[in-house]
């Protein structure tokens, strides 16, 4: 029987990948039966589609369609293609003119829920569209909420849809995070985040929010310019901030939420920490359980996955040294491994294995084994341009690799 995952009010099959980092926003696919060795037979290329626009955005897959964002001829917007063959279905421009900032291009993976999808642009527009490409509403982070980034590389957030609410992070002084009615754009609440810590900077970070029920309180956990924060879902009250993992350049990776704990890591000399969320009167506080120094673990922007109590990711700024960490203790199980590829590594989990995508394009299959690093083969995709930063997406037995204007589909 096919299991059903629920995102908001829309029913999606387990084969769909409807948002950033998959159905549960944890970088993990529930599919089984993949090819478990690439040593003699790497995945077969099924098709290559064009017209995605320029950028580093990942893709969302829902009900036979693939959605992404990119810099198009007339501006930055959304692209939809047929999952069968990569044929372009429609494009919709959200913001006229191509935004200018470091590393030009879109960053946002669309979030699909029922007959709608939500995106943010790198110059700070949030928009809701139908899955046919019609704009329902859009708002400007700067005009509505005084939004700003912690540094100048453009907004990268992928919108969180939680029931009837769209959650985003403008980074404004009075509205660091806001919750909107997902179908009208009407504001439900805004959260002012006080200054905390001394290692980060005010403004939005480059991560995307996830849901936690830590300490028995439903909250949105997000990586901001100042560090990780928790905001009460019911009313937008700021609950806690954790600055030990923050740096002043770019806080990027989406935190991992497990029970009452949050695991977070950034690069630029920061490091990695685990906090436990504890009730504190009407609120919640974050108590640090341990901290891992940056020479042992700092995740740049490839993300982290948690499998059976162990965190797997790439270590080092602009580096993808494969590491495995016991999340309970912070003990490094293995990590003195020469990275197979060059640059940062984006990581996706599927069927007992980790797919590492390196910045130079190299694809590597690694067994999710806390006892030892066991590489199961590698291959170089058909096309590579600039930095291969888009995370691998696994859906319906296929692996999708976004590479600037092109999208490659491989059989897994």
Interval 127-143 mean pLDDT: 98
Q: Is the pLDDT of residue 102 over 90?
A: no
- Contacts with 239 (C-beta within 8 Å, 6 or more apart), sequence order: 217, 219, 229, 230, 231, 232, 283, 284, 285
Interval 83-105 mean pLDDT: 94
- The structure tokens listed for 374 are 């066991």
Mean pLDDT of the chain: 95
Give pLDDT, residue 405.
Answer: 98
Give pLDDT, residue 14.
Answer: 54
Q: Is the pLDDT of residue 9 over 80?
A: no
Q: Is the pLDDT of residue 201 over 80?
A: yes
Contact present, 43 and 35 (Cβ < 8 Å) = yes
How far is it between the farthest Cα atoms of the chain? Answer: 59
Domains plus CATH for the chain?
A: 4-411 (2.130.10.10)
Contact present, 111 and 158 (Cβ < 8 Å) = yes
| CA atoms of 339 and 345, how far apart (whole Å) | 9
| CA atoms of 62 and 111, how far apart (whole Å) | 10
CA angle 128, 188, 251 (to 5 degrees): 70
Question: pLDDT digits over 31-58, tens only?
Answer: 999 999 999 999 999 999 999 999 999 9
């Amino acid at each position: 029987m096919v299991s059903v995952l629920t995102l908001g009010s829309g029913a999606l099959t387990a084969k769909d990948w409807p948002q950033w980092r998959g159905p549960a926003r944890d970088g993990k696919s529930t599919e089984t039966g993949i090819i478990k060795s690439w040593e003699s037979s790497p995945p077969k290329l099924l098709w290559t589609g064009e017209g995605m626009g320029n950028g580093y955005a990942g893709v969302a897959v829902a009900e036979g369609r693939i959605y992404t964002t990119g810099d198009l001829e007339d501006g930055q917007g959304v692209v939809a293609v047929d999952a069968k063959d990569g044929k372009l279905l429609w494009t919709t421009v959200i913001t006229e003119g191509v935004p200018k900032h470091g590393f030009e291009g879109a960053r946002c993976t669309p979030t699909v829920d029922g007959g709608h999808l939500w995106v943010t642009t790198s110059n700070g527009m949030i928009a809701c569209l139908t899955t046919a490409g019609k704009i329902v509403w859009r708002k400007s982070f700067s005009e509505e909420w005084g939004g700003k980034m912690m540094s100048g590389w453009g907004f990268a957030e992928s919108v969180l849809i939680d029931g009837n609410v769209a959650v985003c992070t403008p980074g404004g002084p009075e509205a660091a995070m806001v919750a909107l009615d997902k179908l009208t754009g009407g504001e439900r609440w805004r959260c002012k985040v006080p200054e905390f810590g001394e290692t980060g900077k005010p403004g939005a970070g480059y991560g995307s929010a996830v849901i936690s029920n830590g300490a028995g309180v439903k909250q949105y956990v997000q990586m901001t310019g100042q560090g990780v924060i928790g905001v009460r879902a019911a009313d937008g009250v700021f609950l806690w901030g954790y600055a030990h993992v923050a740096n002043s350049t770019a806080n990027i990776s989406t935190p991992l939420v497990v029970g009452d704990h949050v695991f977070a890591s950034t690069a630029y000399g920061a490091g990695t920490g685990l906090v436990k969320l504890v009730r504190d009167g009407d609120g919640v506080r974050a108590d640090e359980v341990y901290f891992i120094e940056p020479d042992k673990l700092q995740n740049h922007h490839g993300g982290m996955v948690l499998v059976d109590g162990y965190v797997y990711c790439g270590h080092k700024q602009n580096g993808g040294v494969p590491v495995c960490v016991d999340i309970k203790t912070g003990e490094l199980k293995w990590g003195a491994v020469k990275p197979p590829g060059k640059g940062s590594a984006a990581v996706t989990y599927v069927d007992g294995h980790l797919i590492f995508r390196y910045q130079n394009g190299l694809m590597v299959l690694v067994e999710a084994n806390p006892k030892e690093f066991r590489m199961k083969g590698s291959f170089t995709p058909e096309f590579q341009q600039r930095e291969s930063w888009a995370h691998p997406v696994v859906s319906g037995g296929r692996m999708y690799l976004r590479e600037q204007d092109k999208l490659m589909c491989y059989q897994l």
